[in-house]
Amino acid sequence: MFALVVSILWGGNIVSLKIALATVPPFWCAFWRMVLGVAVLWIWARSRGVALWPASSEWRGLSGLGMLFSVQIALMNAGALMTSPAFGEVIINSHAIFANIAAHLTSDHERINGRRAVGLALAFAGLCVVSLSRPDESLAPRPMEGNLVMVLSSVLLGVRQVYTRSLVQWIHPARTVVWMLTWSIPAFAIGALVTGEPLLIQPLTWKPVAAIAYQGFVVAGICFVGWAWLLRKHAAGQISMFSFVVPFAGITFSMVLLGEPLRTGLIMGACLAVSGLVLVTLARGTPK
């Protein structure tokens, strides 16, 4: 149930990102999101008595996670700028496909059996349908490029899930997430300065402020820590399957908040992807 609640909250991520990107450029948007997220997490961790300063043996793993996270988020923000929120939400949340593949390649305990392979193939077919479909032009100025960038971000997110699971077995989940976000803050600031991004594209209003606050407090705060905690208790492939509600939550949020119309390719692809991921969940078991 906790995984489902976190997944629903995560469904508003790309929609809030799209709202924020209309005013704040991608690198600065990610920068402020992570600053807020780190602040929330530091306060929470200190109130719980969690030690946040890494041991000497933890720095290497946390640094690698921070770099992986920074690239993945940068790609997601760039993709969100080019494609629609609903399409981006479905694509990015197909990361469970790649989490299962990465877990299969790196762990003897998360092997892909025949039935899971069928489910992954079905989910991948759904991902292809969505990626090759065209969203509403008013929300997607460069849909094909945006969809492709979102796919790349989804691949890295799947890999990140598996890598995070390996770290939280011996590093506290809160410390893992705090330093993942902390490492990304200077990376995004440097990216903004190198690319010459302005701080604002247009005058600041309450909408982008609220959108970034949602990304920082809810997504980067509650969702990240909650997911890391779940990964400490359960296999990466198994937990990733509970994100099947995120695409539909994202589609609903986009329809309600941005007026995005439903597209046949979007619905067909989302249903294929989710059906495949549900099949993977039900097919977990002894490798065959």
> Nearest-CA neighbor of 158 among 61, 38, 277?
277
> Is 204 part of a structural domain of the chain?
yes
Measure the CA angle with vertex 45, ends 41 and 51; round to 5°. Answer: 125
List the one residue out of 80, 6, 77, 12 whose CA is nearest residue 251. 12
Cα 241 to its chain centre, rounded Å, is 13
> Is 287 a domain residue?
no
- Using CA atoms, how far residue 287 sits from 37, 59, 208, 275, in Å, is 39, 35, 47, 21
288 in a domain, yes or no? no
| 207 part of a folded domain | yes
C-alpha dist (Å) from residue 35 to 22, 40, 73, 102: 20, 9, 14, 30
In a domain, 61, yes or no: yes
**Residue 228 belongs to domain spanning:** 2-282
Q: Is there a contact between 214 and 69 (Cβ–Cβ < 8 Å)?
A: no
Is the model's pTM score more than 0.75?
yes
Which pLDDT tens digits describe the chain residue by residue (288 residues)? Answer: 888 888 888 888 899 999 999 999 999 999 999 999 898 888 878 887 888 899 999 999 999 999 999 999 999 999 999 999 999 999 998 888 898 888 888 876 677 778 888 989 999 999 999 999 888 888 889 999 999 999 999 999 999 989 988 898 888 888 888 899 999 999 999 999 999 999 999 999 999 999 999 988 888 777 877 777 777 777 755 676 676 788 888 899 999 999 888 888 999 999 998 888 888 877 665 443
How many domains, the chain?
Answer: 1
